[in-house]
Structure 1
């Protein structure tokens, strides 16, 4: 299909037989579209989400193509649930070839999670951080780690004090800040993997502004209605286009050895200055381990200059 995500990404001919792919947030939107595409490409797909009925429906659709799929339920606002997901993935597979950190959201109201940090930051950054770092030794050589960030990171700067309170909560700032954290995490992960001579790549991406993904349901009423009907507006892309961004980063042979980059429109892009701050990336890495109460993964004294 010329309009399928894999065709748009230029990876329709990539044979994923024997590869295991975990896609978080894959019961709807671009995650679901990417999971279905991975099934068509022959991969064993690990589907993740909070809604078991939606997850099992995706599994059924993948299996109808002859591919293998399994659903894993976990709420990314709960540390124990993510730890359970990690344990389940380890038990169900012999290793991962692709991990796509796609789960996340935009949340109108502010609240603190069990870790004492703001909900958006926990769901969008801390849970992917925990999942990724605790599955690193379960990833096969040559594996790719892909994290869904956003162009919304521009304008934000890292503020680790502000996320420990919701007194001045602003939904758009919280989202933008969490997406900045996604890029900083991905680039720091890539650097530390390189320093440790581990043959795994890590990249982040902007999937586009996608009304059909369901993301915009989190926005205030009038804006949500405007954007949800705005498929004709410049810069607005489809769910298939957004899923193609995930597939390009995960499977394109052209970027097999590329790591530590931020992609948009299937091309490396330069993120904001704040997203290129190596000191901030290092601080975020250490802070995340501290707040999760885990040993610092891939411990290093400092980041590259």
Structure 2
């Protein structure tokens, strides 16, 4: 019998009753499993995605749980869509205790978003940056923020010029670069929050290579078919395993005071040198605010 994500994360006895969680990209894959696990632990959960039918199907699974599930639709390729999501959360909740930045993907086509930046970078990094910073004033004093990154960041250097055109577009580079941005964002956010003396944690995770997550649909053929066949191979990471990676820094008592770290296999792990470069993190933060045309969040804590 397969184990649940909360069992795999060692948090099955954690009580999240009264807490509000927002899990982006939670209509399928590890986001869906993490959202439902949080519901079983007692948290009220905002389920996010682009597919309303899939979102409502996840919400229906909250029936019988001592928690509420609600779907909010938002397109992460749209700045207005992300801002509307943040506004809905601020209006409809008293605060957010758990924010899981999980939405994202790998996109084959080289194209620029409405902001004039590479599409993958926009969806995977700029949108969670915008959502998180828009909710900073709405986060609980001891809130936890978890961002889905990837071991794919290894071997990639931060290149903020390359994301402003698609002349040299390569889908795997764009994905790997966005995952590097995820780690840099999570660690810079942790540093700035710490400087403001807020007890909010910010960490990133590698969920594993998961055949059943739906991620393989973004890959070129025949990789989706090959990945699908791996789901029956013993020892391959499952969707539940990936959801457990999200839950561990989100609710475990063992991670309550850990911030600014990158987790692999539920262990703080050292990412690549580029992902540990504080100058990279600062430049990315400032660049993101500039592209989004917003005031630099937590600017006073930059030093």
Which bin holds the TM-score, normalised by the shorter protein? over 0.9
Q: Deviations over 1:277-304 (max 9, x none)?
A: 100000000000000000000004755x
**Alignment-derived partner of residue 88 in structure 1:** 88
Poorly superposed stretches of 4+, deviation over 6 Å = none
When structure 1 is superposed on structure 2, of 293-302 and 90-99 the one drifting more is 293-302
Aligned-partner Cα distance in 2 for 1:234–1:131: 37
Mapping of residues 173-188 of structure 1, within 5 Å: 173-188=173-188
Say whether 1:244 aligns with 2:244.
Answer: yes
Unaligned runs of 5+ in 1: none
User: In the alignment, is the contact (CA less than 8 A) between 1:74 and 1:82 conserved in 2?
Assistant: yes
User: Are the counterparts in 2 of residues 208 and 235 from structure 1 also a CA contact under 8 Å?
Assistant: no
**Residue equivalent to 2:127:** 127
**Partner residue, 1:62:** 62
CA distance in 2 between counterparts of 1:196 and 1:65 reads 37
Aligned to 1:167, what secondary structure does the other structure show? coil
Where do residues 10-49 of structure 1 align in structure 2 (5 Å cutoff)?
Answer: 10-49=10-49
Q: CA RMSD in A?
A: 1.3
Deviations 1:152-198 (A, max 9, x none): 00011100000011111100000000000000000000000011111
Query: How many residues end up aligned between the 2 structures?
Result: 303
Are the aligned partners of 2:204 and 2:263 in contact in 1 as well (CA < 8 Å)? yes
1:74 paired residue number: 74
Q: Residues of 2 paired with 1:271 and 1:114: CA distance? A: 31
Deviation, 1:221, is 1.1
Q: What is the alpha-carbon distance in structure 1 between the residues aligned to residue 299 and residue 12 of structure 2?
A: 38
Normalising by structure 2, what TM-score?
A: 0.97
Query: For residues 268 and 235 of structure 1, what CA distance do their matches in structure 2 show?
Result: 22
What SS does structure 2 have at the residue aligned with 1:103?
A: coil
Displacement of 1:63 after TM fit? 2.8
TM (norm. structure 1) is 0.97
Asked if 1:6 corresponds to 2:6, the answer is yes
Counterpart CA distance in 1 for 2:132 and 2:248 is 19
The answer on whether the counterparts of 1:2 and 1:8 sit within 8 Å (CA) in structure 2 is no
In 2, Cα distance between equivalents of 1:272 and 1:220: 26
8 A Cα contact 2:192 2:301, kept in partner: no
Alignment partners' CA distance in 1, 2:235 and 2:202: 26
The answer to whether the 8 Å contact 2:20/2:45 transfers is: yes
Name the residue aligned to 2:169: 169
Please report how far the alpha carbon of residue 236 of structure 1 lies from its aligned counterpart in structure 2 after TM superposition: 3.0
